[in-house]
Structures are given as structure tokens and as C-alpha cells.
Structure 1
Amino acid sequence: MKRKSLFLGAALIILLSIFLTACGGSQKEGENNSGSNKGTEKAEGGKKDYGIKFLSIATGGTGGTYYPLGGNFASIIQDATGIDSNAVTSNASAENMALIKKEEVEVAFTQTDIATYASEGTMMFNGEKVENVRGLGTLYPETIQIVTTAKSGIKSVEDLKGKSVSVGEAGSGTRANAEQILEMYGLTVDDLKARNLSFDDSTTGIQDGTIDAAFITAGTPTGAVEGLAATEDVVIVPIDSDKIDSLIEKYPYYAKETIGAGTYPSIKDDVETVAVQAMLVVRSDLTDDLVYDITKAIFENTDKIGHAKGKLIKTENALNGMGIEIHPGAKKYFDEKGVSAK
């Protein structure tokens, strides 16, 4: 009897031990599951699945404006979407369109006119349309400056006829700007002694007297022009208002622009001209949600842009001079904000 009681007691102890182990194991498993769920939630971070894990922004050279802005944008986009984002160097606008076409980047900087040429397969993209590019938003003006000096005697676009003028490097956006502005005055580059020079070579040529004037398309003030202005009385040739209207009517990627008095030391009065816009484009295959969130992140965080151009980036101006089809995700954002092209 005593032996039977001992046996029953041992059995009860074993059963109790098994029960406690099972409960402990169950509780531990529950804790593990809870930890696993938290890990998954943390990994997902409540973020959407955008269909991509990495995002590259094609910019320009490290000494230009696009590259530092691109670094700012990459940080803003990564914070908003959780997608690893980075800025990559390039030869800027035209090359960036090629990178979009080859699907080597998701987002790119360019000028509005270059984006239009790419989407139409015209100018430097003759017969080579970039069909997968869509607009995200325009950023700030790239001003067309017709630069000369007081001693040249050039005061109007008509005065360029017969003069030695740099019209930008062959195949460049500046060259196209020069051709289109001259067209409004019934002129062509053949009416000039045209030179195809870089901005630095153009201002050097003006300074040493080998050329009389130059077309320069860049944000103002432009470093090359500032260098010239340090030794010469720089003149910026105005474009007549009726010619500006005609230019914009035919080439809608242009916008009116004013070079303010004091931009360069010798500029005493405002000068009326035109500008194309620096803009962001995206690949057409990016999801609407992703492009909406990128657009929202950039235009609602301009205070986080550590470059002077950040002050010019405004939601209300983001469709000015767009020129190409806007991505539906970006359109949704601007529609919500009541923004339309001016």
C-alpha cells in the first residue's frame, strides 16, 4: 500500500512536471511569436510595398547644382518611403534621359526643354524617343542669359547679327535655346559667326575679345558670368516681351524670367528674358503610390534642403513649363493642392 502510494505520488510529480513544462514551453513560444511579429512589423515599419528596394537619382557633376540637391532629395525620399536612395553623378540633362530610357535610374534631374526633346525624339534625341519618362515637378529656373559687355555695343538680339557669338556646345540645350530665340527674330545661327563653346570658354572669349557675346543657360548668378563681371561691365541682352510670348506659345517649356538689378555689379535695371526649368523626371513604370509619396516628401520638406536653390522650390510653381506628360502619382498630389500650370 505504501509502495502504491509512492508510485502514485511519483506519477503525479511527473505529470505535474510535464504540465508545467508544456505551459512554460507554450508561454515561451508565444513570447517568441510576439517577438517575431514585432520584428516583422519593425522590418516593414508600417511602410508600403512600392515594388523596389533601391532608388537612384541621376544628377550631374559634383561641382554643379544637381548633385548636392540630389543628395538632399535622396535623404528626404529615404526618410519618407524607407527605400534605400542615393544620388549618382552624371553628365546631367541629356545623359540622364538616356539613363531613364535604359532603366538604370528611377529619378533624374533635367531641364524642361531637354525632357521635351527626349519624349518627342527631336533635337539631340533625333529618332530616339525616350518613351518611359514622366514629369514629377519643376524646381527652379535655368535662365537664358545673352551675355556681352558694354564695349561691344550690342544692346538687342538683332545686334547679334554678323557678330562672333557662342551659342553653346554642339548638341547642348543652350544651343537649342539660342536657335529658338533667334528664330523669334527671323534669324538663324548662320546669321552669326557662331562658336560652340562651354560657359567658361565663352566668358574667357568675351574677356579676351575673341567673341562678342554668348548664350548661357544656367541658374543666376552664374559663376562664369560673375568671373567676367569682376573685370568687365557685363551687359545682359533683353528679349522683347512680344518675342517672349511667341516663344512660349511655340515652345511651352519656356517661362518668363527676370534677371534682377544687381545680379551682376553692372546690371542696374531688371532684364526681361526667359528660362527653362530644372525639373525632376521619373520612370513611367514606378507605381502611383511611390511617385505620390516622393512628390509629397520633396515639396513638403523644402526646409530640409541644404542648398540655396531650395528656397526657389515651391509647390505652386511645380507645373510651370513642364512640357511633358506628368506621372499620375505626381498629378494626384498637385491636384490635391489645387496646383496648375501658369
Structure 2
Amino acid sequence: MISPDSPLRFCWLWLASALLVISSALHAQENTSITIGSGSVSGVYYPAGASICKLINKGRKQHHIRCSVESSNGSIDNLTQLQAQDIDIAITQADWQYYAYHGSGPFASAGAYKEQRALFSLYNEPFNLLVRSDSAIHGLPDLLNKRVSLGSNGSGDRATMNILMAQSKWDDDSFASTQALAGSHRAKALCDNQIDAFVAFLGHPNASIKEATQTCKAQLIPVVGKGVDNIVKRSAFYTYTTIPGGIYPNNPDSIKTFGVLSTVVTSTELPDENAYQITKAVFENFEIFKRLHPAFAHLKKQNMVKDGISVPLHPGAIRYYKEVGLL
């Protein structure tokens, strides 16, 4: 038996403590979890987050990172949660990424979020205006005195609609009624004749638009005019774009509108190694990623590194991009 005062006993106690610390560190490494804030389940942000998680989890045994995706109200909600450290990664429109970083627009009261860091950008999101076939709506001006879903609170849809409304000096009282619907709820409300139209930034094809066009022959309407021209000219984020015809039933014609890139961002709280492994998981499995959703089909690696990125890249992402020659 080792005496309580024996130096050997203290050696064993020190060794046991050291092993406990090492074991705890290894256990923590094996159980690193990250959460991605996305959007409504019927939109594209949610499957985008799920696709990223799928590729991260594919290599979990090597990098010890487990990924999960959460639904949310969209861009602004995701950035708010990211800043509160409730999630680790946010999918957001490029414009709200910029506004959050600089503390402007809807983030003015929260102040500049200078800890925000970008990983990569994704696909272009057209601004969609979907209307009932009997609504007599043929463009933005026809929304006046109609029943309209302006987008859920905390979404890029609602924030962008506010900008468009300001161009015409409209407010919520300019409509017969307004709702703040998201996902499949807006398609159901449209077909149940509870609203005449809804607006949404969505990549295509989209489940809620498909539901409405199939169920009640809803129509995508061009989003053009002086107000849109002003927004595009004054912003580095918005560009003119076209929704191809034939994607949805009863919508054979191409639709002119404007759009913005979706981006994947995080913060300085994410360790460099984790950011490196997350970026690597997507780019090393790029062809698989492109097949996980039709909105990803035309992505190009070189564009994802720079387009729509208006905040600093995360050092971990930079490390990967330099390794493979993308930077």
C-alpha cells in the first residue's frame, strides 16, 4: 500500500488528473456540434442547410464535427440568432449580410456586427410575386388595395418588400389586408382565397410555388418598373434576373424580376479548424452537392468564393481556398 504522504502517491494523482484532462479534451473533440440556421422547410434555405450538414456529417469520423439544421424565419432571423450565438452558421441574403456587418437598415438598433465572417455564397434568389389567376394583378402597382402576404417577420422577404414599398410611398395600410406567412402556409392561403398575392425571395424550383401553381393555377408576375430600377442601380447586391418559363404548371413564360445571392456566414466564434473542415466538406464533395438540389446545379466554385461576399472571409475558409488555388 502506498503511504498517503508518499511522493509516489502524488505522482499517481498527478498522472490521473492529467489523463482526465486529456480524456475530456478528446471527448469534447469527438462531440463538436454545429447548428445551421436556414429558413422554412418548404423553401430552399432549409434543404441548403441540410445538404451542407449531410456533407459535413459524411466526414464526421475524420474531423469530429456533427452538423444539424434548424428551420427559421429566414435571413434576418438567422443573423440575429448568429449574433446571439444561438446558432453557429447562418444562411442569408447578401444584402442583409452587409447590413448586419455595418449595423444599418434593420440592424441599426443592434449595432455593427463586425464579428461576422463569410464561408461562401450559394445561388441567386429571384424576388417572386405569385398571384391568384383571378386577382387582376399584372405588376407591382396592382398590389394596391389587395390582400397580400408581405413575408414573415424577420425575413429578407419582408425587409425587401419594405424597400419596394418605400419606392411607391406605400405602407401596410396601402393594402386591403396584409399577412406575414411563410412556406406552404402562403400557398394554402392563396389557393383558399385568403390572400390575392404573396412575395418571396426563393430559389427555383420551390415547393410552395409548385403547390400553388398546381392547386389553383397561380401565376408568377414580372417584378419590374422604376422602383425596381432604382433599387438595382443604388445597390451592389441586387441584379436583374429571369425566372425560366416552364418550371411550374400553368407558367410557360419566362418572368423578369430582380434577385440577390444567398450566402453562408458564421462568426469569429467558430474555430478556424472547424471553418476549414466545413468549407472543405462542401468543396471536396462539390459534384455531390450540386446534385442535392436543382438550385445548386449551376454553381461554380470560383464564383462562390467572391460573389455576394461583402464581409471578411473566415480565416479557416481562406486557408482552404489558398490550398486549392481558389484564392
TMscore range, shorter length: 0.7 to 0.9
Determine the structure 2 residue equivalent to 1:217: 201
Matched, 1:114 2:96: yes
SS at 1:154's partner residue?
coil
Determine the structure 2 residue equivalent to 1:15: none
Matched, 1:86 2:67: yes
Distance 1:282 1:242, change over 3 A: same
Matched, 1:58 2:58: no
Measured after TM superposition, the shift of residue 298 of structure 1 is: 2.1
Q: Is the 8 A contact 2:127 2:223 kept in 1?
A: no
SS at 1:272's partner residue?
strand
Measured after TM superposition, the shift of residue 169 of structure 1 is: 2.0
Q: Is the 8 A contact 2:65 2:274 kept in 1?
A: no
Determine the structure 1 residue equivalent to 2:307: 320
Q: Deviations over 1:46-87 (max 9, x none)?
A: xxxxx99835142336663244213224236757x7242322
Q: Which amino acid aligns with 2:196?
A: D
Distance 1:300 1:67, change over 3 A: closer
SS at 2:216's partner residue?
coil
Determine the structure 2 residue equivalent to 1:173: 156
Measured after TM superposition, the shift of residue 146 of structure 1 is: 0.6
Query: Which is higher, the Rg of structure 1 or of structure 2?
Result: 1
Measured after TM superposition, the shift of residue 158 of structure 1 is: 1.3
Q: What stretches of structure 2 of length at least 5 have no aligned partner?
A: 1-25
Matched, 1:182 2:165: yes
Measured after TM superposition, the shift of residue 293 of structure 1 is: 5.7
For residues 234 and 268 of structure 1, the distance between their equivalents in structure 2, rounded to whole angstroms, comes to: 12
Measured after TM superposition, the shift of residue 228 of structure 1 is: 1.6
Measured after TM superposition, the shift of residue 209 of structure 1 is: 2.7
Distance 1:108 1:216, change over 3 A: closer
Q: Is the 8 A contact 2:49 2:69 kept in 1?
A: yes
Measured after TM superposition, the shift of residue 239 of structure 1 is: 2.2
Distance 1:243 1:292, change over 3 A: farther
Matched, 1:75 2:57: yes
Measured after TM superposition, the shift of residue 173 of structure 1 is: 1.8
- Worse-matched range after superposition: 258-267 or 178-187: 178-187
Q: Deviations over 1:85-109 (max 9, x none)?
A: 3224252544432443244554332
Q: Deviations over 1:149-204 (max 9, x none)?
A: 33212111111122221111233221112122333455444432341231333333
Measured after TM superposition, the shift of residue 110 of structure 1 is: 2.6
Measured after TM superposition, the shift of residue 113 of structure 1 is: 3.4
TM value normalised by structure 2: 0.73
Measured after TM superposition, the shift of residue 300 of structure 1 is: 4.0
Distance 1:99 1:332, change over 3 A: same
Measured after TM superposition, the shift of residue 148 of structure 1 is: 0.6
Q: Is the 8 A contact 2:79 2:90 kept in 1?
A: yes
Q: Is the 8 A contact 1:57 1:74 kept in 2?
A: no
Distance 1:128 1:89, change over 3 A: same
Distance 1:59 1:286, change over 3 A: closer
Measured after TM superposition, the shift of residue 117 of structure 1 is: 3.6
* % identical equivalent positions: 24
Q: Which amino acid aligns with 2:133?
A: A
Determine the structure 2 residue equivalent to 1:161: 144
Q: Is the 8 A contact 1:259 1:270 kept in 2?
A: yes
Matches within 5 A, 1:277-316: 277-286=261-270, 291=275, 294-305=278-289, 307-308=292-293, 309-316=295-302
Matched, 1:191 2:174: yes
Measured after TM superposition, the shift of residue 307 of structure 1 is: 1.5
Q: Which amino acid aligns with 1:75?
A: N
For residues 180 and 287 of structure 1, the distance between their equivalents in structure 2, rounded to whole angstroms, comes to: 36
For residues 68 and 60 of structure 2, the distance between their equivalents in structure 1, rounded to whole angstroms, comes to: 11
Distance 1:314 1:237, change over 3 A: same
SS at 1:152's partner residue?
coil
Distance 1:163 1:96, change over 3 A: closer
Q: Is the 8 A contact 1:157 1:185 kept in 2?
A: no
